[in-house]
Structure 1
Amino acid sequence: MLNFTDSNALLTESVDSGLYQNLVAQLVKDFGLANVDIDLPFQVNPKNLKTILHQKIYRLMMERFADYLNLLYIIDVPEKKVKEIKASDVVDISNHVAFLVLQREYQKVWFRQKYA
């Protein structure tokens, strides 16, 4: 139910379950709490969301590493999962981190909807 192998499966499930807009709202909220600007239109489609998130995380890793770490802390991405990433290229690492961010944010909205 909350175990996804990639971002596409996660985003498809969020659309199918009706939680996609909540996922986008949660991303905007947590990025705001971390003082990181992310320009997500309310009606952003899943493919563009994945691309925007990946690019933002890549830029944070390359240019503002302290903000990147703060964002992961605010979102509550497990440090253990970040350390388990087996990529050596920053582009691949940022793609995996983007998936972890989406996974954690979806988990938040899913639990909120299920136990509200």
Structure 2
Amino acid sequence: MNLPDTFENLIEAANQLDLYKKLIQQLNKDFLLANVDLDFHEEVLPTSLKLMLHETVYKLIQEKFSEYLNLLYIIDVSEKQVKALNGDDTLKLSEDVAFLILKREWQKVWFRNKYS
């Protein structure tokens, strides 16, 4: 499996395989497990999804760091990938982490679809 390298490519792949709703459901499931108050509507536009996810990750980093770490753990975002990001700019960091979250959730949805 080749993971998408941009948000647009990820959304395009999800739409091509008709898995966009499954991606949203997976996000909602994991955010609920992490006790993070974010629930996407299944018809959310990709631009809104990106913005809301970025904003939530930014707030978690700034205000609730332990919840942020818990979310990354529950979603199973690679610690190595997170550590490789530049942490100097929190806004950029939160955008990059939001994309890592989406990529990991996409992996889960893609594998479940392919092998079930």
In the TM superposition, what whole-angstrom CA distance separates every residue of 1:46-96 from its partner, at most 9, and x where no partner exists?
111111100000000001000000000000001000001135210000000
Taking only aligned residues, the RMSD between alpha carbons, in angstroms, comes to: 1.0
**Where in structure 1 do 4 or more consecutive aligned residues deviate above 6 Å?**
none
Alpha-carbon contact 1:2-1:107 (below 8 Å) kept: no
* Runs of 5+ consecutive residues of structure 1 not aligned to the other structure: none
Sequence identity, in percent? 49
Q: How far apart, CA to CA, are the structure 2 residues paired with 1:73 and 1:110?
A: 20
Q: State the TM-score, normalizing by the size of structure 2.
A: 0.96
Q: Which amino acid aligns with 1:72?
A: L
* Runs of 5+ consecutive residues of structure 2 not aligned to the other structure: none
Q: How far apart, CA to CA, are the structure 2 residues paired with 1:66 and 1:44?
A: 27
Greater relative contact order: 1 or 2 (C-alpha under 8 angstroms, separation 6 or more)? 1
Query: Counterpart of 1:71?
Result: 71
Question: What aligned pairs does 1:1-116 form with structure 2 within 5 A after superposition?
Answer: 1-116=1-116
Question: Greater CA deviation, 79-88 or 19-28?
Answer: 79-88
Q: How far apart, CA to CA, are the structure 2 residues paired with 1:30 and 1:22?
A: 12
